Structure 1
Amino acid sequence: MAFLTVYRSWRIILSAAVTIALHHLILTILQMNGASLFGIPLTIYAQNCSITTLLVHAMFVVFEASALGFMAYKSAVENDTNFAIMDAVMRAQDGNDLRVRAPILKGSSTIPSFNEFMTHLHNSFVVVGENIDELKGVSQNMSQVSADTRDFYIRQSDQTNQIASAVQELTYSIEDVAKNISDISKDAEHIKLQSGDGLIVVNNSVNVADNLQSEIESASEQIRVLESRCEGVSALVEVIHEISEQTNLLALNAAIEAARAGEMGRGFAVVADEVRNLAQRTNESTERIKTQMSNLLEDAAAAVVAIATSKDLVNSSAENIKKSGEVFNVINQQIEEMSTRTLTVASNTEQQAQVVSEINRNIISLTDLVRSIETKTTGVFEDSKSLDSISNKMHQYISVFHI
């Protein structure tokens, strides 16, 4: 019965077991009844032919049939599993399709493992494909970045060369500036001396202006006194004019009375006529004096105005001169500060010249470094191109499979 396991079917084993059981049962019954075939007694058991012996043999048959049936079942499951896996592998191979899965068979633990392996392989290829796409994008970006970086460092190299030239020219310019500042410091010292002399002249001018202001103030006061006295004289002349008018009026009245008196008043008329003539001359003289005094008062008033204007001008000039003196003081202080600062600037400029020289040396070193980086960047650019080529090849390999 064991050879029947090659059919990998528990049903065949069961059929064989039933057949053997019926064979033993029938032969046992026939032997127990003394049956014979062609004159030969039927013997299945040489000794102890009984139902008990039959049951013992039946138990062995059942045990053997069970074991062989289980083995046949497992062999069938294994065989079906192998065929299912082989079919899945063939379909995956023919179509380059990693999505192929083997059908689930009852009792097979291999197919789930195989399907899990295929799922893991499929997921791995998906991840690898995504990583290859990312790698391709990264390599392209890297190529672009390295190309841009290379171009940048090329421009940077040109710019550092230009900066080095500019710094060299700046060094020369700073040296010239230091020399010019030294000359300016000397000129500032000379201007300081001249400004001191100018300040002395301005101070003298201020003193002269103060004296002139005092003299003009005195002259203005005297002219005001003269104007007051002229006004007094004018008042007296006005009184004399009024007296002459009254005298003339009295002389006229006396002449009228003398004319009325006739011969007796003739002498008195002559005197009255002389008095009237004198009064007229006095009136004329007072008029001329009045006119002269009026002109004198006008001249005095004009002189007062002129003196006041001159006083204002002198005051303004004195104020301006004082302000000029203050300005000269400020200028003198500023020139002194400028002289000090120019000396400081000259010293700082010399230090800057040294610093710029050091910067120039550093820029030269930087230029060499930039050139070295440019060379390395070119190598990175070539490596990124190789990486892009490798990613393209890997993408071609992966694209063969359906994922």
Structure 2
Amino acid sequence: MSSTRLDRLLRRLSPGAITRSYLAKFAVVVILVVLAIGAVGAVTYAETTDRLEANAQQDYTAVAELSATEIDVWTSDHRSIARETADSDAFGFTREPEEVESYLTSQLSWQPDEIVAFHYVNRQEGTLIASTDHERGTAITETNWLSDGLLIGEDTYTSPTYEVDDERHVSYVAYTPRRNYFVMEVSLASIVGDLRQPTDGSFTTIVQSDGVIGASDREGTVAEPYADEVRDAMISGSAVGHVSSATFEFTDDAEYFVAYAPVPSEDWYVAVHVPLAEAYALSGMIGRNLLLIVGVAVVGLGLLGATLGRGTVAELNRLTRKARALESGDLDVGFDTERRDEFGDLYGAFSTMRDSLGEQIESAETQKRRAEDAKAESEAFAERLESRAAAFGATMDECADGDLTARLDVEPDDPDALADIADGFNDAMDELEGAIAEVDAFAGQVAARSEAVTDGADEVAAAGRETSDAVDEISAGAERQSRRLSEVAGEMEDMSATVEEVAASADQVATTSREANAVTEEGREATAAAVAELHDVEERSESATETIERLEAEMAEVDAIVETISEIADQTNLLALNASIEAARAGEAGSGFAVVAEEVKALAEETQSSAAEVEALIDGLRERTDESVAEMSRIREGVDAGVDTVETADDALSEVATRVAEADDGVQEISGAMDAQASSVNEVTGAVDDLAGVSQQTTAEATTVASTAEEQAATLGDVSEQAHALTERARDLRRMTEGFEVDGERDVGDGKTDLGVFDDSDRDADSDRDADTDFDFGMTDSGQSVSADGGTDEAREPGLVDGSLNANAEE
């Protein structure tokens, strides 16, 4: 591809002689490559040199910045020493110069060696007060920089550098407590000796703010000023920078690269000077080597073109002639050669291609004949597949229309894949047909059992109404008893009045005794009647209690039936889910059954909800029944207490009769007898009042029991309505499954499906069966069937266990 594009380019841009000659093309390409190498080499040389010079400049600038940082640390330490020493109390108002000088000498003894002297100077007069070296101290006071307004606030002043005995010094000045000057003189020899030298010919200087060199590690440069160009760039320019090329008079006008950086704590700069020859030595060497490489490449390409071009062109011309003969159809052309290089391989390849071309021509004719035969066979097979697919589609349409007995027929010459499809579809339809049959049987059984539940609920409601009637009779009896006891209480009050009259009038003792005897007999008869009535109330209470307890037992059975209905709804929901799975596996053919499965699922959910409501009603009814039993127990206890009270009254009336008989024996004993009689009458009156209260309480309790029984009857009516609704839903489910045609002889378990449903042999039994009828509503987790009375039947077939339909549903 690339050679073709190059040929096109050469044909457009070059004369015909170059276009027709490979040697000319080769020469032109070599020249272009040499020019390209030269251009790339020049660009690479320029970029490499610039980058190396930039790196060198960054490195030397970093050296200057590092040196400035070291000097900043050094000066900061000495400024701190000056401030700490000046803050001492030794410079107080009461101190004599001798004491101050002694203190200065002591402090200097343990300071670093570069600190050469301490001086104490009167700020206003400019005279030396004390010093560790008076000669140097005097020299300090005579300098131009030491003046009265030297310091502002509590800062420390750094003096210009100066020379003492061929060494550069600097002084740090700080205030003392008396506002005089403390001067610390420091030698710069140690810090200058530690200045960095990046190359052998380089040197470093400390430059003051006026552009004069304050210290240097090269002799002859101290106190020399920089030229305006360098000084302006250093002092008024950027904080850290460099000057690419500069000459200095104090270095014999040699050319240097200068990198500089400020000292943060002082008004100083650090300048690193590197000769240009040393600064860019690496870039010059690399540039020369790069130019040498480019020159060698150019010369090598020239020699390559001269030696290889001519022989290659001659051999290519020879090979071209043979290839054109092969192109014209001459398969006998010879490609023999003695060369073992690439051209020898090329000759061999052409020879192999010539032999292979003849074989391929024969093979192509053979393959053409085979292809025609295979095409005919493929067309016949396609027609066979199309016919079988149409037959399969017709059978699937029948199944989709509701005929679940239709099956796909497999012929012996059908492919294995087509046979597998037919077998899988037939298996799915077998399972679907069985599931529909099971659903139909299950719906009928649910309807029958729902009717039985309805009948049981009606019987329980009738028992509740009987209980209500019995309680109403108890209430009426208790009310009559209350009225009778009220009458007895009135009579006892009359008796008390009579006894008092007898006690007041002895003349009427006999008459009063006879009347008392008669009244006493009537009281005994009343108490006997009250005892009999109370015993009757007690018997009715016991009968009502037994009826309510029997009703509670029937409620337990109804509760068990409702729980079983709830389990049936859960199993129906699982059946609908498995049916949906089977419909999904059948694809579009099972879409109609999928709709039915959704309806079955919805009906199961509604049934489950209704069963939950019935169960809640039964729980409330059971609570009210328990309350009725408790109330009847309390009524029975009250009746027993009333019987005891009335018997006590009967005993009292017997005592009254005895007293009346004794009254006939003599008038003398009338007074004592009347007193005892009055006491007895009062006791009887109190007992009758107590009995009347008990009778009223009995009446109220009986009324409460009657109200509870009526509520119980209303609740049972709701239960019966829910059972009727369940029956209607089961019938709707069965009507839905009648739309599918299934095999009438299919074995669905003799009335029991794989879902664990109940025995259907008693579907046509009398619907008026009692509450003890045994219903089979499914299986427990242990494989036993559950009946309506809460028992299990181990003879039932296992059905749904742990929510799985059968082995096919798990697949």
More strand by share: 2
More helix by share: 1
Normalising by structure 2, what TM-score? Answer: 0.20
Which structure has the larger Rg?
A: 1
Normalising by structure 1, what TM-score? Answer: 0.39
